[in-house]
Structure 1
């Protein structure tokens, strides 16, 4: 076994079903990851799902994060919405407040926040919306840890608001040389080979470079890696990633605690 001093968190987007419709195997992923980004009913999820996932996460010692989004159930939160900053602030605060209620019922609390989809990508480069989201989270809890792309406008805004910025990498997404995500609309932007993905995660966790979409080497400063739960073979890929990290001697644990 390889020894390592590296530490990394594994997070996944969970609770993204709606009513009788489910997406992904939340319970299986909760046995693998260390942080759960729980949908707050604006892009997916509903109160019953929120309660079920937060309870299951708490039972396993998995950190609970608010996966806040634009109000866009039809588009799964993947469409940009040009909102007034005050309205966006209030909608983010509403979402995380709702999840906090269920977290408290499960005997814990919301430990961090990770914006979803179009909101995540927008605030990475949109100062006004980034500031609005940061203000909502500051009102919820000063110093709250937040996930985002390393070097993004979002993490800068979070730091300026007194939040705790945490860089995140994506296990199965391809990056540009600048460190942004290649659009899902482009072919090859999402990886599916579990072995390739798991070895990339070991490289990211240990500070080594990964290949960007132009064949160059990119080093990402990340304390958490996202393993998606809504792709084919998601559980098997997540398990391969966890096994590879364990074999490399990387300590896998939450970046935030309740």
Structure 2
């Protein structure tokens, strides 16, 4: 069975985000970029399924500028078999991403799609659900455990009330949550081998997908700076401030 894993290039989670002076968006110049952490979990889960003999091939897909090839190479170094880059320099909204993935699925015919539940740059949490609706596949979102059977996949989901297990008929879509696994580090030999693995490049136009934006960002602003706290000399002072200044008593 072939597994398709979309991976996204985002600002590294350790980087402190800065807003552009004109409020047009987040500053990306000279900023460290890396694979979306939820997508790393998806790649790791696909590799584990292949190591168990449940999958035969892992295809990593990324949509973005030429530098997104580095993100695919990271997935290849972790253990994916080949990559596909849908190259574009414009911002791609979740619906357009879902349409591109639908076109790639039609070409690749995977038995399972494993993807991060959301990207840490926009936190949209929409692409997996939209993809499922577009192609009519069953979906298991927020997965904390995945077990492949004969023609089915059991997905344990993290929901508000605890855990829920659903059984899906393949082909299906699974979106990963943080507690599904701990992604591995790519070893130096695997990083070198990844350079020789196939990486194909295509475009949204070639796949017949219109990337025209449907959303308009009016303004991007940093959250207000948190005011410094104060020290009080006694419990009586604390109660007075809570009552007279904070208004919580």
State the TM-score bracket (shorter-chain normalisation): 0.3 to 0.5
Q: TM-score, normalised by structure 2?
A: 0.35
Structure with greater proportional helix content: 1
